[in-house]
Every structure is written in C-alpha cells, then in structure tokens.
Amino acid sequence: KSGFVSIIGRPNVGKSTLLNHVMGQKIAIMSDKAQTTRNKIQGIYTTETEQIVFIDTPGIHKPHNALGDYMVESAYSTLREVDTVLFMVPADEARGKGDNMIIDRLKQANVPAILVVNKIDKVHPDQLLAQIDDFRTQMDFKEVIPISALEGNNTDKLLEILKSNL
C-alpha cells in the first residue's frame, strides 16, 4: 500500500523537522531562518508492506517577490498531487492571516486534511486545547493530532493514522 502526503504550513512551524524525524536523517534543511526550504523535498518512508511519500514544502507566506511567489505556489501545487495533507500549525502561536489563507486553499482543493499541532513541548495543555478548538471552528479536519516534531512526541501516532488511511 502506498500514498502521497504533503506537509504544509507557515514558515517555521516545524515541517522540515517532522520530515527529518520521520525519515531519521537530515534530508530537509531545518532552520530558524524563514524560507530555508525553497523547493519541494521528498522523503520516502517504507516498511515491508507500506510506502508513504512525504513532501516537505516551503512555508506559506505573503510573497513579496517572484521567488516568494514561486515558493508559495509550489507548496500549494502539492494539494493537487497528494492523498492527504498535513496542515501544520504551532501550538504556541495564535491562528493568523497566513493560516486563514491556507485554510481557504485547503477547502478549495478539497483534499483530506489532518491538522498537526506541533511544538506541544512549548505549551500548557490548556493552551493546546484552546488552539485545537479555535482551528476546528474554521474547518472540518479529518483528524487532529498534537505532536512535538523536535522531541518525537506522538509522531508514531501520526504515522499510524497515515498508514491506516493508505
């Protein structure tokens, strides 16, 4: 069984960190600096019976130039190519305009979306629950999963969900 999954979200939410964690090696560049991931980067996760192609994408932001525009559109273009989208948001920052833009595009694309709330190591559980409730008012997600990509908390659960959807 196999499937394609893209990871999209604002810059710096931890998309590349998740891909690296899942792949167990540094394939995507992780950085504090916004826009380090300039292109779509794939990682192929395989077991004996399953294959998931992960696509890491540039952070979605309001583009100021042609390169920015190209990067954002290349992230959105994955919505037409995948079976499932992981929409990643940070637990420690409130929903912003960037997130709302992404939600609009997710609805247009009509692709199954899983809300991945990352950086749970940085917040109190109450703040995490409030964040989840807030995003749920905006869209129906197929699943909602809180993780820490950095520490690897709950990432195995995320993989299980993706595998069960293949």
Confirm if 71 and 38 have CB atoms less than 8 A apart.
Answer: yes
Distance CA 42, CA 69 (A): 20
Distance CA 81, CA 58 (A): 16
> In this complex, which beta carbon is closest to ligand GDP, that of residue 23 or of residue 166?
23
Amino acid symbol at 123: V
> In this complex, which beta carbon is closest to Mg ion, that of residue 15 or of residue 21?
15
Closest residue by Cα to residue 14 from 1, 27, 30: 30
Closest residue by Cα to residue 13 from 125, 95, 77, 83: 95
Segment lying near Mg ion (by CB under 5 A), choices 11-19, 84-92, 108-116, 156-164? 11-19
Residue 155 interface partner, choices Mg ion, ligand GDP, none, CB cut-off 5-8 Å depending on type: none
Q: Which of 6, 16, 84, 155 binds ligand GDP (CB under 6 A)?
A: 16
Q: Is 133 annotated as a binding residue?
A: no
Asked if residue 118 binds Mg ion (CB under 5 A), the reply is no
Q: How far is the CB of 49 from ligand GDP (least distance, A)?
A: 29
Closest residue by Cα to residue 57 from 3, 98, 5, 111: 5
Asked if residue 25 binds ligand GDP (CB under 6 A), the reply is no
Residues 103-142 that bind ligand GDP (CB under 6 A): 118-119, 121-122
Strands 2-8 and 84-90: parallel
Per the annotation, where are the binding residues? Answer: 9-16, 56-60, 118-121
Per the annotation, where are the binding residues for GTP? Answer: 9-16, 56-60, 118-121
Contact residues for ligand GDP, defined by CB under 6 A: 9, 11-17, 30-32, 36-37, 59, 118-119, 121-122, 148-150
